[in-house]
Amino acid sequence: MDEGISRLPERQLLEHRDFIGLDYPSLYMCKPKRGVKRDESKETYKLPHRLIEKKRRDRINECIAQLKDLLPEHLKLTTLGHLEKAVVLELTLKHLKALTALTEQQHQKIIALQNGKRA
């Protein structure tokens, strides 16, 4: 070992006698969950959680309603009656895929026309 490097003190192993007289619960203290104090009951925690979940569900429902409004009428008519959320999402995917394919076809036509003019 290099003489210029000082040796670190060896780690001392603790024995059972080192823990005699210590308050064990203080050794295993954990931080409480974020935003919840130890003396609060679960019910006081559940209320904000329920409100947060309700807001999340409301946002999802609002986005699905907006997607439904954006769908072309001919796609809406392919289903009978009320459009379920899952159906709205499926029709939106179908419509986006069709638009993507159409855009790709038009892009290919533009490239072909540009190559034709150059030749």
| Interval 19-63: pLDDT, tens | 566 555 544 444 455 655 555 566 666 778 899 999 999 999 999
Record: fold of 43-117: MYOD Basic-Helix-Loop-Helix Domain, subunit B (4.10.280)
Q: Which tens digit of pLDDT belongs to each residue from 57-112?
A: 999 999 999 999 999 998 888 887 788 999 999 999 999 999 999 999 999 999 99
Burial of 68 (0-12, 13-18, 19+ CB in 10 A): middle
Q: Would you list the domain boundaries of the chain?
A: 43-117
Helix, strand and coil in the chain, % to nearest 5: 65, 0, 35
